[in-house]
Every structure is written in structure tokens, then in C-alpha cells.
């Protein structure tokens, strides 16, 4: 049983007041996202408007949390690296002036990049490469709007925030993409379900 089957079973087993919460939880899962969660809701007999709104809220809340965390992590890393660079400059200036007792080796060590020792291997490298190609070609709006075709919104939003794009800009375009894609898929699924019935 996969994750989609699990969410579909949960939607079928709980009362109608809990169903939107299950759909929102499904929307927070990468690769299910708002589109998949809305589909789960529509197929489970939930009102399509309720299913779409629940899926959008779940997906957007997850993306918002990830963007805020990524942005803060980037700020912390940039601040730490800036402090290290400033400390090195001060050490070099002291050494140049004649401070022989600094105790340092005088060898500058480059900060470790995110690519060094990548434990996830080729999968994360492939994701980064896809993201980088899309970002260079389409920019922030394009990556956000076309992102669900390439990578889950959680991944694209995290990479955008970690690369230094402003939080508000990332959240705006991710919100537009989540609402647009979820609404489109909800309408398609509603049409399919009504045609079958």
C-alpha cells in the first residue's frame, strides 16, 4: 500500500469534519502535494471546493514553513561565513603588521561547500541540476509555476529560499502555483468523476 492509498483509506474512514484535515495533511507530503490531495478528496466524495481549499492550505503551510526555515538557515550560514572571513582578514592584517605570535598557521582553509561529501549521492545532484537548469531558464516565477512538472513545490521552494531569493517573493509565486495547479487538477478530477457517474 502506498501513501496515496493510505490517504484515500483515511478519507473514507473518518467523518466529514475530519476529512479536510486528512486532505490538508496529504497536501503537505512531497510528490502528493495540493494536486494529489485534492484528487484524493474528490475521489473520496468530498465536496470539490472543500477538497481544493484543504489541499491548498496543507501544501502552502508546508511550503511556508520550509521557506522560512531555509531562509533562516541561509542567513545563519552567510553570517557565520562573513564572520570567519572578517576574522581571517584581521589575522592577515595583524600578521602583515608584524604580529608573529598569532599562533595561527597562516594557511587559510576554504569553507566546505554543500556539494562536498554529499551523502544522498546522485539523486540530490540530479535534483539540484534540474532546479539549476530551470532557474536559469525561467527565473523565480517560471520555477514556481512550472515546478510541479519537475520537482515537488517543497523542494523548489526550499532551494529558492536557500539560494537567497526573498521569502515574500518565493511564497507569493509558490502560492500562485499551488492555487493554480490544485484548482486545475480539482476541476479535471471533478469533471472525470461527474462523467463516470
Lowest mean pLDDT among 9-13, 66-70, 75-79, 190-194: 75-79
pTM above 0.75, yes or no: no
- The model's pLDDT over 154-168, given as tens digits with 9 standing for 90+, comes to 888 888 888 888 889
Q: What is the pLDDT of residue 1?
A: 66
3-state secondary structure the chain: CCHHHHHHHHHHHCCCCCHHHHHHHHHCCCCCHHHHHHHHHHHCCCCHHHHHHHHHHHHHHHHHHHHHHHHHHHHHHHHHHHHHHHHHHHHHHHHHHCCCCCCCCCCCCCCCCCCCCCCCCHHHHHHHHHHHHHHHHHHHHHHHHHHHHHCCHHHHHHHHHHCCCCHHHHHHHHHHHHHHHHHHHHHHHHHHHHHHC
Contacts of 9 (CB under 8 A, 6+ apart): 1
Instruction: Give the angle subtended at the CA of 189 by the CAs of 130 and 170, to the nearest 5°.
Output: 35
Asked whether residue 40 carries a pLDDT value surpassing 80, the answer given is yes
- The model's pLDDT over 120-164, given as tens digits with 9 standing for 90+, comes to 567 777 777 777 777 777 788 888 888 778 788 888 888 888 888
Q: What is the pLDDT of residue 173?
A: 93
Q: What is the pLDDT of residue 116?
A: 47
Q: Report the chain's mean pLDDT, rounded to a whole number.
A: 82
Q: What is the pLDDT of residue 23?
A: 94
Asked whether residue 25 carries a pLDDT value surpassing 60, the answer given is yes
Q: How far apart are CA 22 and CA 119, in angstroms?
A: 33
Asked whether residue 70 carries a pLDDT value surpassing 60, the answer given is yes
Amino acid at each position: 500500500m502506498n501513501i496515496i492509498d493510505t490517504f484515500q483509506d483515511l478519507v473514507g474512514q473518518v467523518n466529514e469534519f475530519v476529512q479536510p484535515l486528512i486532505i490538508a495533511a496529504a497536501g503537505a507530503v512531497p510528490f502528493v502535494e495540493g494536486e494529489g490531495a485534492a484528487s484524493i478528496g474528490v475521489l473520496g466524495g468530498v465536496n470539490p471546493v472543500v477538497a481544493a481549499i484543504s489541499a491548498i492550505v496543507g501544501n502552502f503551510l508546508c511550503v511556508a514553513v520550509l521557506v522560512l526555515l531555509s531562509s533562516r538557515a541561509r542567513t545563519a550560514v552567510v553570517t557565520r561565513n562573513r564572520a570567519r572571513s572578517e576574522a581571517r582578514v584581521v589575522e592577515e592584517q595583524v600578521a602583515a603588521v608584524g604580529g608573529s605570535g598569532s599562533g595561527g598557521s597562516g594557511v587559510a582553509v576554504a569553507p566546505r561547500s554543500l556539494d562536498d561529501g554529499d551523502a544522498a549521492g546522485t539523486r540530490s545532484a540530479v535534483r539540484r541540476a534540474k532546479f539549476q537548469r530551470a532557474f536559469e531558464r525561467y527565473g523565480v516565477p517560471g520555477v514556481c509555476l512550472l515546478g510541479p512538472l519537475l520537482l515537488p513545490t517543497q523542494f523548489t521552494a526550499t532551494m529558492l529560499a536557500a539560494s537567497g531569493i526573498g521569502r515574500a517573493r518565493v511564497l507569493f509565486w509558490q502560492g500562485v502555483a499551488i492555487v493554480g495547479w490544485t484548482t486545475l487538477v480539482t476541476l479535471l478530477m471533478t469533471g472525470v468523476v461527474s462523467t463516470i457517474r
